A and B are shown apart, each in its own frame.
Chain A
C-alpha cells in the first residue's frame, strides 16, 4: 500500500510540477509538430496540414 501511495504521490506531483514550473500541458486538443516551410508560406497548405494532423473542426 505504501508503494502504491508513493506511486500516486509521485504521479500527482510530477504532473503539478511539470505544468506549474515547466509549462507542460498533458490534456487538451493540441499537438506539437514541425511545420514545413512550404506549409508556412501557403495558407491552403496550412489548413491541409492541420487536417492531416487530426484537427477536424465542425460538428
Chain B
C-alpha cells in the first residue's frame, strides 16, 4: 500500500510505497526521508546526468514471474569520475531489486543475508578471490568507492547526500554478480547476475529518447569539429586536431588539458566503418600504448570499435600483427596468483607469456572511461594461439579494478578487407605471442591424408601377407670339396687362428680361386608376380665364401644374375673384441615369368681349400620384404615429420620472446 505525503519543501504530493526510505520530489528535487509523521527534508539533489540510459522511471517489467516497476534511480559517481545509474525495482511481492547499469551492461541484484562473515574491504584485492563461505567463492572485479550524485523517484535505502562509501564488485561464473556495500556495518550483500535488458521485458516509463547517430561537437580548445559516435557513453575525448584532452558530460565537451601526443601512425581513421566477424563496427578511438622490457620500449596501437549493439571491442595492432579483443567477466576466469604459469579458463588451457606495465602514450577520439595520458595498468598475458587472455589491473583512488579481455588473432588482410584500407598491409614482424602456428594448421589439414595413407598401407601389408606364402622352390646343401673336386683328407686344415688385426680391405686372395659350378635341376616357377629370395648360409669363421649365381630360364635364356656372400670375421684388437659380417645372406630377385628355370651357382673363396665343407642354398618365392612397407611408411611420415619440426621451431621462436619460457625460467 502506497503512503501519500507532502513534500517538505514545496508541498507537492509524494509517494512512499512499502520499503521506500527516501523519495525525491519530482517538482523541486527535494530529498524527503520517510519519518513516523511527516517526511524530513534531507536536502536537494543535483540535476541528473544524462547517461543515455534506455530505462525510465515508471517502466514496468517482469522478473522470475513477478511484475515490477522501476520506482527510483540513484546516480553514483565513480572514483575515476564517471557516473553510473542504479535503478530500483519494486516487485509486486514487496521485494526490491537493484538494477545497476554500467557501459551498456545491466546487473540485477537483491539484498541477501550472508550465511557467514563478509570479508573486510581492505582484505579484497582486484582480481583476487573473495571467499564468502557458504555464499561461494568469487573473483573480485573491482574495489572502489562511490559518491552519491543525484536521484529520482523512490529509493529503498537511507540516502546521505554527498556521502561516499566503499564497495566491492564480485564476479562469478555464468554471469553471476555480487556487490559488497560497505556503507553500513556489517556490510550489505547484494547477489544476482548480469541480466540482458530484453530478459526483463521492460516497457513504458519516462525516458529520454536514446541518442542515435553521430553527434557533432566543437572542440572547446581549437574549435575543430569532433564527431561523437557514442555520446551517451563517452567520458573522455582526445581532440585529433589540437591534442587536447576533453571531458564529455551531458552532451558537452570541456577542456581538461593539452597533451603532448606522440606521432600518430595509425592506419584506421576515426569514424571508419567496417565489418569484422560479421559485425558492423565503427572506429571511434585510437590509443597508443607501450611497455618497456629491458629498457626497450615496445609500442602498439589500439582502436576502440563501437558495434551495432553499442558494445565496445578493441582492435590491436602490434608490429604488423592484428587482434580483436572483447571483455570477459572476471568471474569467468579463476583467480590468478603472481607468477602462475598455467591457467585453465573458458574451456581452454592458457600459458602465461609475459607481464608488462602498459602505459597510455597517445589518445585520439572518444572513450567510455576517463582515460588519461600516462595511465598505467599491469598486464598479465596468457596465450592459447590463436587467442590470448589478458588481465589488466589498475589501481585507483579507493581501490582498483581488474579487467579481463579475450583477443583473437586476425590476419592483416582481414583488417584491410574489413575497413577497405588502401594498399597492402605491412608484413608482420617476428612472431606474435598468440599468432597461430601456420605449420600446425597445415599439419591438421594433412591429418586426413596421413590417416588415409596409414590405413592404405595397413591394408596393402595385410593383403601382401595373405598372398605371400614364402614358398620354397629349391633347397640344396652343397659339398664344396666335392664341387671343387678336392680330397678332404689331402686338404690342409684351414687356418682357424684368430687374427690379430682386422683384414685390410681389398686384400686379394693369395692363390687363384677354384672354379666349381653347380647346376640345379629344373625349377618350376608358377607365379610370375612374386619376388624370389635366395639365401646362402655358410658357417664361415674368419673367412668368406661368395656365391655368384644365375637363375636362367630354360626357354628364353633370360637370367637373373646375383651375388650373395657369407663373410664373418671376429677377433680382439687392442684388448677389445670385435666381429663383423654374418654367416649368411639373402639376395632378393624380381619376379620372373612363370616357367622352368635352372639355378647355376659358382662359389668362390679365399685360397685353394674352401673354409667350410658345405654351404646351404635356398630359393623361396613370395617373401614379404618389410623394407618396402618401411619405405612407404617413411614416405607417409616424412612430410608430417618435417612439419612437426617446423612447428616446433616456430614455437621455440615464439617462446624465446616470453619471460615465462623454459630458457628464461621466468616466474
Partner-B contacts on A (CB < 8 A) = 1-2, 4-5, 8-9, 11-13, 15-17, 19-25, 27-37, 40, 43-44, 46-47, 50-51, 53, 55-59
Q: Mark B151-168, 1 if CB is under 8 A from A, else 0.
A: 000000000000000000
**Residues A17 and B634 in contact, CB atoms below 8 Å apart:** no
Inter-subunit contact B529/A31 (CB<8 Å)? no
Q: Do A35 and B546 contact each other (CB < 8 Å), given the known contacts A12-B634, A20-B468?
A: no
| Residue of A19, A37, A55 most packed against chain B (CB within 10 A) | A19
Q: B507-542 CB contact bits vs A (8 Å, 1 = yes)?
A: 111000101010100000001111110000000000
Q: Which of A8, A30, A51 has the most CB of B within 10 A?
A: A30
CB distance from A26 to the nearest CB of B (A): 8
Given contacts A16-B629, A28-B588, A43-B515, contact A57 B442 (CB under 8 A): no
Q: Are B635 and A13 in contact (CB under 8 A)?
A: yes
Does A59 lie within 8 Å of B628, measured CB to CB? no
**Stretch in contact with the other chain, from B42-50, B418-426, B556-564:** B556-564
0/1 interface trace, chain B 617-636, chain A, CB 8 Å (1 if under):
00000001101110111111
Which of these binds chain A: B171-179, B200-208, B456-464? Answer: B456-464
Residue on B nearest A50 in the bound complex, by CB? B548
Chain B residues engaging chain A, CB cutoff 8 angstroms: 442, 446, 449, 453, 456-457, 460-461, 463-464, 467-468, 503, 505-509, 513, 515, 517, 519, 527-532, 544, 546-548, 550, 552, 556-565, 567, 587-591, 600, 602, 604-606, 624-625, 627-629, 631-636, 638-639, 643
Q: Does A23 lie within 8 Å of B587, measured CB to CB?
A: no
Question: Is the Cβ of A57 less than 8 Å from the Cβ of B460?
Answer: no
CB pair A32–B639 under 8 Å, yes or no, is no
B635 touches A8 (CB 8 A): yes
Are B560 and A16 in contact, with the CB atoms below 8 A?
no
4 more contacts with CB within 8 A, not counting A21-B529, A40-B557, A59-B505, are A20-B460, A27-B588, A58-B544, A59-B507
A37 x B602 contact (CB < 8 A): no
A21-B464, A27-B627 known; A46 and B602 CB under 8 Å? yes
User: What would 8 A/B residue contacts be, using CB atoms closer than 8 Å?
Assistant: A1-B442, A9-B635, A13-B632, A15-B632, A16-B631, A19-B628, A30-B588, A37-B557
Docked complex Cα distance between A27 and B625 (Å)? 11
B602 contact set on A, CB distance < 8 A:
43, 46-47, 50
CB distance from A3 to the nearest CB of B (A): 10
Majority SS at the chain B contact face: mixed
Pairwise interchain contact A4-B628, C-beta atoms closer than 8 A: no
B460-A17 in contact (CB<8A): yes
Complex Cα gap A24–B592 (Å): 9
Shortest Cβ distance from residue A29 to the other chain B in the assembled complex, whole angstroms: 5
Which residue from chain A places its CB closest to the CB of B602 in the assembled complex? A47
Cβ distance B552 to chain A, nearest Cβ, rounded Å: 5
Q: Is A19 touching B635 in the complex (CB atoms < 8 A)?
A: no
Q: Beyond A30-B560, A55-B561, A59-B567, is A24–B635 a contact (Cβ under 8 Å)?
A: no
Chain B hits for A21, CB < 8 A: 463-464, 467, 529
Contact B562 A30 (CB under 8 A): yes
Chain A residues near B604: list those with CB within 8 A. Answer: 57-58
Taking each of A23, A24, A29, A50, which has the highest tally of chain B beta carbons within 10 Å of its own beta carbon?
A23
Complex contacts, B600 vs chain A, CB 8 Å: 46
Residues of A within 8 A of B463 (CB): 20-21
Q: A15-B632, A53-B561, A59-B567 are in contact. Are A25 and B464 (CB under 8 A)?
A: no
Given contacts A24-B590, A46-B550, contact A4 B560 (CB under 8 A): no
Give min CB distance, B594 to chain A, whole Å.
Answer: 11
Chain A residues whose C-beta falls within 8 Å of the C-beta of B590 in the assembled complex: 23-25, 30, 32
CB atoms of B639 and A5 under 8 A apart: yes
Are B558 and A32 closer than 8 Å at their CB atoms? yes
- Per the bound structure, the CA–CA distance linking A37 and B509 in Å amounts to 31
Q: Are B639 and A58 in contact (CB under 8 A)?
A: no
CA distance A12 to B232 in the complex (A): 67
Do residues A30 and B632 form an inter-chain contact, with CB atoms below 8 A? no
Q: Using Cβ atoms and an 8 Å threshold, which residues of chain A touch B529?
A: 21-23
Q: Collect the chain A residues with CB atoms within 8 Å of residue B550's CB.
A: 35, 46, 50
Least Cβ–Cβ distance between A55 and chain B, in angstroms: 5
Judge whether A57 and B546 touch: CB under 8 Å: yes
Instruction: Give bound CA distance, A35 to B554, whole Å.
Output: 10
> Which residues of chain B are near A35, meaning CB under 8 Å?
550, 552, 557-559
A22 in complex: contacting residue of B457, B544, B591, CB < 8 Å: B591
Complex Cα distance A44/B544, Å?
A: 22
Q: Which of B528, B546, B633 contacts A58 (CB 8 A)?
A: B546
